[in-house]
Amino acid sequence: MNTSPPAHGPSQDPGGARPRVLVVDDDQGIRTVVRWQLSDAGYEVTEAADGQSAMTKIAEESPVLVVLDLSLPGVGGLDVLRSVREGRVGGALRDLPVIILSGRDGETDRIIGLDLGADDYLVKPFSPGELAARVRSVLRRAGPRPAEVISVGPLRIEPTTHEAWVGDTRVDLTPKEFELIAFLAAHPRHVFTRRQLLEHVWKSAEWLGEATVTEHIHRVRSKMESAQGPRLIRTVRGVGYQLDIRT
């Protein structure tokens, strides 16, 4: 394993503090290897061996990113992720970047994890160097969500509270459904292909098929229409989807 520091390590604050990454896995060997690699890459690494300890450390230590195994004793990885995204852990850390580790290579697991708001997904066994590269990539992409409310016709997107409204009705969306409609609402009338939406919303077009986008569009449309809203998301035949402000 190449343990030399990367050419472009993580940015540090003026006081020299290293960004803190929490590694959550019940396998001590995996935690040790990941800690070595990320420490060499310029990160401060803390560890947790179970889901409950992970949630405590997230709330108390405010890491910049979590590497999270799915198969944990007690509270599972998906439950930890769901609690973070719903603001039940660390409150303001609901947008905390999370990279999932899993010994399962099924598309269903990836869809569930990414739909709950994971930022990346890595299948075991994995290269520690690749994980370090994914950590850098996710942190480069991560940033504060826009604070401005986005309004398109009767649709209102409130990024700071992660809420979508159609008129006076709040639409109950999963984290990924919210990201999808928020992205389309931020670019009204712009037509995006399914592949572009995978890249912008799911942050990759490699793991999931385009049917994932189709299914999420269908679910968001159904929820918006159940809230008595018009069909704002228009299918452009042979191209993709747009949020049509003329509707």
Q: Is the pTM of this model over 0.85?
A: no
Residue 32: pLDDT above 90? Answer: yes
pLDDT tens digits, one per residue of 57-84: 998 888 999 999 998 999 999 999 999 9
Please confirm whether the linkage preceding 14 is cis (ω < 30° from 0): no
Which class would CATH give 20-141? alpha beta
The architecture (CATH level 2) of 150-243 comes to Orthogonal Bundle (1.10)
Contacts of 216 (CB under 8 A, 6+ apart): 115, 176, 177, 180
pLDDT tens digits, one per residue of 100-152: 998 876 667 778 888 888 999 898 889 999 999 999 988 887 755 455 788 88
Residue 24: pLDDT above 70? Answer: yes
2 or 45, higher pLDDT? 45
- What are the residue boundaries of the structural domains of the chain, listed by start? 20-141, 150-243
